[in-house]
Each structure stands twice: as C-alpha cells, then as structure tokens.
Structure 1
Amino acid sequence: MAKTKVFDQGRALARRRGTRTSARFAGHGGVLAATMLALLVASCSGGPTEEAADELAGRCGARDLGVPVEALPYEAGSGEGVDGFVLGDGSEGVVFSNQTDTVLCDWLPLAREMAGEGRRALIYDYSYKPDAAKEVEAAAGELERLGVDRVVLVGASKGAVGSLVAATTMEEPSVAGVASLSSVGDFEGLDPREDAGGLDMPLLLMASRDDGDAAEVAREVAKRAPSDEERVEVFGGYAHGTDLLGGKHGREARELLARFVDGSLPRD
C-alpha cells in the first residue's frame, strides 16, 4: 500500500472549530475505596446475559441486538468506575472510545455490526479522568482479561486522541490497527503528532476539511508515523467525530471504517 493517500472532497471556507472539553469530577476515596470497587467490579462481570442485552437495548433505544452482550463495569485505575458493555465473543476485539459530548450509545450500531463470533466490541463511558490514553488502555485491558489478544482502537475526537497515543505504548493486547475520527492536536496534554513515531500499525485517519485542525492533524500523524499502511480521508464540510458517520459522506465513512476493521481483524 502506498505510504499515504490523501483524498480531499469538496471545497469550503476554512473555519476553526473548538473542541469542547469534558467535565472533570474529583475522585473520592483512597486505597480501601479502590479495593472495594475492584472487588465489586469483579463480581459484576459474569459473561453475556439476557439482562445485559435488555439493559443496553433499553438504555440506547435499540431493539434486539442479535449478539451476546455482557455488562462490564470496571475500575479505570483512578478509583472511578467505568460503565461498559461487551458485544460478541472471541479472541479479537474492537474498542470504541467516545468524543467528549457523546455516550456509548452512539457507537452501538457499529459495535453491533462489527461484533460477532470470533470478535468482541467494547463500548464504554469515560470515568472523567483527564488522560484519554489511559482510558483507552484500561478499556483494552478489560478485553484482554476476557481473553482478547488483538484489538483495533476506534476513537472520535477525544477518543481518537486517546486511541492514537495509547497505541504507541500498548503491548497486550496487541494493537492491530487504529481508526481516528477527527483527532485534534494538543488535547488535555496529549498530542498524537508528538507520539506518531510509535504508530507502526495500520492507520485510518478521517477528518473534515473545515473542522478546525483535524485535517491537518490527520495528515501530520500519517506523515510522521512509520506505518506502511495508512490512509488519510478528508471530507468536505464541518462534520466532527461520530458526525462523520452520518450526513452526506456518512455511508462512505462507515464503509471505510468497516473495511478497515475487517482488514485489520479478518473474520474466519
């Protein structure tokens, strides 16, 4: 595959779009509280159940999900709990990480599509710790605990920043690819451009031309990354994060993402 392919679609006026930062909540408790939470988490995760599927479907306004669902509350390393769900089953997985103003339900249609026999998909809501990369690492670690040894990291905005940065240091589970939707630069102390030298896995970097610095960041990450398989896709307009998956270019963006995941984690 060519080193970098850049596809610019449409022409529009440049416009800077600010990135909303997440609310931060102070953590509570010390070692005892963290230990008690960890024990509670361990007791709550017992494999896929109908109750978990019903809970997720009701929470997100969905109907029959068609795949096994496991409720996965876990502790993200800061003494704060994370609310997550795992769809599907198998030794390979996809971690979906939100942007600041969305919730796990925004990923559910894709997670349900990409999960199944041989592949798990994890969707989760942040614990509001300030380091998005550590959030991604903690989520991937939960999949490893369930037997997953290879993952694709998919993130939007904040989640894209966290996924790109986390991928440079993660060892287990191994990172088979990273898909970034509208990664920005310099977010809460993280900048994927500075860590791009560690991105030696396949990359899909999507952005809108007029969405602040997102297109520039995508190109710069691709330029600095040692990966031999990266694609930069720049669409016209202002769509940011998961909004790329809807609207005028939504179908194309969804197909690109699905092909990328399938190529990185081929189904048997």
Structure 2
Amino acid sequence: MGRHALGLGVLAMLLTACGGTAGSGSGELAASPAVPAPTSSTVPTVTSSAVATPATTPATTPAPRPTGVNIDGCVTEKNGTFFTYKRGGTTTQGVIMGKGSVGVVVSYERRGSVCDWLPLADRMVDAGYRVLLADRNNSAEPEEDTVAMATRLRKAGVAKVFLVGGSVGGQASVLAAGELPFPVAGVISISGVAEPGDAATLKAPFLQVDGDQDDIAPADLVQAVYDAATESADRQLVMLPSREHASALFTGDQAPKVFRAVLTFLDKHRD
C-alpha cells in the first residue's frame, strides 16, 4: 500500500655469481687453493631462540547454539520472559527483557533479526527500561507488528512506551505511533525514512539518527522527514559521519554516539 512504501528512490545496497680464480703472472692458470674445512670457531652457532617459529593461529570454537527455547539462536529464556503471538496464520516468538514501568518496542530492519539489536537492547535494560524484542511476522505490515507489541507491553504493566526502529522498522514506528489508541512517549528512527506526510502528523517526541553516507537512507531524504515533523513535541536529528545502516551502526565507529543519543533521548522523555 502506498502509505507504507519507503518512498526511497534509491535502494542501492550495499560490497589483490661464480667468479674464476686469478691467473699466475706467466698467464697459466694457477691451481685453486684448498678451502679449509670449517671449524667450530668459524661456523656461527645458531641457538633455538634465534630461529623464527611460524606463528600459529589458535583454533576458534564457535559458540554452541542453544538447544532449548530460543529466538534466532541468540536470545534464550535467560534474557527475559518469552511469549508467542499469532496473526495471519504465522506464529512467532518474542521476549520481554528487563523491568520497570517504562518500556521500549524494537522494530528491526527488513533483513535484520533480534540478534542485531541485542547490543542496544542490553544497554536499554541496564538503564532501567523494559525492552520487547520479537521476530517479525512477515504476513503482516511491519507497523501492525509494532502496534501489537506496544499493546502487549501496556498489558504487561508498562505505563509509558517508546517505539524504536531501524530502517523499515523506523518507518513502522512512525506509522504505529499514529495508530495506537494511547500516546507513545517517543519515537526513535535509526536509518529510517518514513513518508514526510506521515511524519507531519507525528506528535510524540521524535529522534532521527542516520549516517551521512548511508545509501539506503540518504541524508537528504532523512532531512526531509525530520523537516516535516513540525508537530512533534521535541524533534531531534543526529547525523553521523558513517555509511553504516540501521543496526550496523551499533558495531561501527559511531556506536558510542548512537547509544548515547538513544539513551539520552529516552531519559529525557521517560518522566
């Protein structure tokens, strides 16, 4: 549906001397002088410490994949409380991590997974937020998942809900904020490009984070979305010198700045 299209005109993805002996004065060849056999005094002694030993690469053993209940092999019941949900004939899993009355729903990029967002989720949990991560239900529009997960957090006792998304998850977060029956505490879009018209109706505080060399979420389109969000209670744009997209920002050179921007925004609007 047109309203939910990314609206990107650019989806370009992103990827080695042997010399003779001297003759006699009469011109006859002189016999070659005998070469003395080397003695222990003329042969250098090589100690074992002077011999270069080829470096060896230690074998790496991959971390064993969980055999019990897990999501994508990285999230287990040690991370939080698991749940399942079904829509459109598809059943998927999710987890609610942490404790507290303020929660965050994470919506990831189209080719991402919950594992990609654990670095951010762990930091938000450490900061006192309850975080919901869930497998995407590919039979539904992304914002429908986001709406369902935000509603689940509210029913779990969370008083304030933030929506955080990357790429298409950022767009879904903007759309879901307008469809939920309760106001959200804030929307954070990381490398997300919503339709300017949808951003124009956003009233919640809005943080947009992007890399200035991101070909999937070009800086000019991100700027246009930010410029359109004039109804937002508090809009912020953080443009970083990077070509990384969405969750890749969590492991790149700009990761500390991304984490700081997100957590600062959450803390500002949690009360």
Tell me if TM exceeds 0.5: yes
CA distance in 1: counterparts of 2:74 and 2:99, whole angstroms: 21
Query: C-alpha separation between the residues in 2 aligned to 1:197 and 1:19?
Result: 28
User: Stretches of 4+ moved more than 6 A in 1?
Assistant: 61-64
Aligned partners of 2:154 and 2:161 also within 8 Å = no
1:60 corresponds, among 71, 74, 89, to 74
Q: 1:145 aligns with which of 152, 155, 167?
A: 155
- Rate the CA distance shift 1:192–1:165 in 2: closer, same or farther, 3 A: farther
Q: CA deviation at 1:110?
A: 2.1
1:176 to 169, 185, 205: 185
Q: Which runs of 5+ in 2 are unaligned?
A: 1-9, 15-65
Q: 2:228 aligns with which of 224, 229, 234?
A: 224
Question: Is it true that 1:201 corresponds to 2:195 in the alignment?
Answer: no
Paired residues of 1:89 and 1:117 also in contact (CA < 8 A): no
Q: Which secondary structure state, in structure 1, belongs to the residue aligned with residue 209 of structure 2?
A: strand
Which residue of 2 is the match for residue 121 of structure 1?
Answer: 131
> Given the superposition, is the C-alpha separation of residues 116 and 55 from structure 1 closer, same or farther in structure 2, using an over 3 Å criterion?
farther
- Using the TM superposition, give the Cα deviation of residue 197 of structure 1 relative to its aligned residue in structure 2, in angstroms: 2.0
Distance in 2 (CA, whole Å) between partners of 1:250 and 1:231 is 18
Residues 15-63 of structure 1: CA deviation (Å, up to 9, x unaligned): x54369xxxxxxxxxxxxxxxxxxxxxxxxxxxxxxx9x8559921799
Root-mean-square deviation (CA, aligned residues, Å) is 2.9
Structure 2 counterpart of 1:60, which letter? C
- Cα deviation for residue 239 of structure 1 reads 0.7
- Residue 133 in structure 1 maps to residue 143 in structure 2: yes
Superposed, which structure 2 residues align to 1:243-262 within 5 Å?
243-262=248-267
Q: Structure 1 CA distance, aligned partners of 2:149 and 2:77?
A: 25
TM-score, normalising length: structure 1: 0.69
CA distance in 2, matches of 1:198, 1:19: 30
Counterpart code for 1:204: L
Deviations 1:168-202 (A, max 9, x none): 22223x31001111113xxxxxx432211221111
Q: Report the residue type matching 2:192 in the other structure.
A: S
Work out whether residues 57 and 63 of structure 1, in 8 Å CA contact, stay in contact via their aligned partners in 2.
no
The 1:63–1:95 alpha-carbon spacing in structure 2 relative to 1, beyond 3 Å, is closer
Counterpart of 2:33 in structure 1 is: none
TM-score by length of 2: 0.68
Q: Which amino acid aligns with 2:254?
A: H
Which has more helix, going by share of residues? 1
Counterpart mapping for 1:1-268 below 5 A: 16-18=10-12, 55-56=69-70, 59-60=73-74, 69-75=80-86, 77-115=87-125, 119-172=129-182, 174-184=183-193, 191-212=194-215, 213-225=217-229, 226-266=231-271
Q: Measure the CA separation in 2 of the matches of 1:163 and 1:255.
A: 20
- Cα-to-partner distance string for 1:213-250 (whole Å, 9 max, x where unaligned): 44223222221111141111112231101112221211
SS at the partner of 1:115?
helix
Q: Secondary structure at the match of 1:234?
A: strand
Matched letter for residue 163 of structure 1: S
| Structure of larger gyration radius | 2
Is the contact made by 2:71 and 2:94 (CA closer than 8 Å) also made in structure 1?
Answer: no
> Which secondary structure state, in structure 2, belongs to the residue aligned with residue 122 of structure 1?
strand
The CA distance in 2 between the partners of 1:258 and 1:235, in whole Å, is 16
| Matched-pair contact (CA < 8 Å) for 2:120–2:250 | no
Distance 2:106 2:136 in 1: 11
